[in-house]
Amino acid sequence: MGDTRWLDDDEQRTWRTYLWASRLLYESLDRQLQREAGMPHTYYMILAMLSEAPERTMTMTELAQLVRSSPSRLSHAVAKLEDQGWVSRCKRPGDARTTLATLTGEGFAALVEAAPGHVEHVRRVLFDRLTPEQTRQLHEISGALLGGLNAPAVADLGMPGGR
């Protein structure tokens, strides 16, 4: 215990503020999507990542990495999305070990319907509260945190072409 680098008062305040802000932000996003689109934020992210993939298809392994989910948790979520008709799964031709997830037309339509309200909510609870300089700083700080967390799967933020 003698080697512990305890947080000073400023670090402790910053840490707790960050924890509460990130938790409450995620909960707010989840509530908004549940209320307005009938889906949790996790499902929205799955649909969004598939919508940006070539042919709206990717392997379940790739999708799990992008949405930061365990394979079993993702499989459960995708099964629910299949029940809705929003995603379909099939084996990769010539490779029975690899499962592909594809966003269906109905799933894309659900995403298109949910996106305006979700984006407006993100803008209202996050970006409208920050100056352009704070937005840039938040991006830099978040990038530094991701780098320290060894998150190569999100290095390009899960966006095709590294957008």
* Mean pLDDT of the 144-163 span: 60
Model confidence pLDDT, tens digit, residues 9-41: 999 999 999 999 999 999 999 999 999 999 999
For the record, the structure tokens of 82 come out as 């299949």
Model confidence pLDDT, tens digit, residues 74-111: 999 999 999 999 999 999 998 989 999 999 999 999 99
pLDDT at residue 146 in the model: 87
Do the domain assignments include residue 160? Answer: no
Do the domain assignments include residue 98? Answer: yes
* Mean pLDDT of the 52-57 span: 97
Do the domain assignments include residue 12? Answer: no
Q: Which pLDDT band, with edges at 50, 70 and 90, does 158 fall under?
A: very low
Name 112's bridge partners: none
Q: What residue numbers bound the domain in which 106 lies?
A: 21-150
Contacts of 110 (CB under 8 A, 6+ apart): 37, 39, 47, 84, 86
Do the domain assignments include residue 163? Answer: no
Half-sphere exposure for 25 (CA within 13 Å, toward CB): 13
- Tally of structural domains, the chain: 1
pLDDT at residue 151 in the model: 63
Q: What is the CATH number of the domain that holds 105?
A: 1.10.10.10
Determine if the pTM surpasses 0.95. no
Do the domain assignments include residue 158? Answer: no
Phi, then psi, of 68 in degrees rounded to 5: 55, 55
Do the domain assignments include residue 115? Answer: yes
